Amino acid sequence: MGKVIQLASYRKASRKDYLTKHGGRLDTFLEKFVRHNIDIDYQQVAYDYQQSQSGSDMAWDYVAFRDMLEEAFDEAFGNLLYQLLNAQHWFDERLISRSEIIERCLSKYIMSNCHYAISL
């Protein structure tokens, strides 16, 4: 059991070291990816989502909206993004999951449209 715990802490430390060393490169890569590949108006997407939820008795939920966007990003851009990342010499797919890459990419997309996102 001690070896399993040591392996888990080794993986956690390796991941932390990787993100410390290459996190800036990853963020820059994702910002460029969003800027060059994602030409979707965040304001319009948010408005359309809110309108689709207006007929329901419940108020629209930002977490559900973000989950929907994450799923759509993965479906639309996930393969291309992961393929481009794998071509980078510094990228190590063992230390950062595809879902985390998509989540970071979505965050970059939202932050690039931050002037509207903050007003929600």
Encoded tokens for 25 = 């490169």
| Domain parsing of the chain, residue ranges | 2-117
pLDDT digit string, tens, across residues 34-80: 999 998 888 889 888 888 887 776 767 888 899 999 999 999 999 99
Give the tens place of pLDDT for each residue, 92-115: 998 899 999 999 999 999 988 876
For residue 109, give the 3-state DSSP assignment. helix
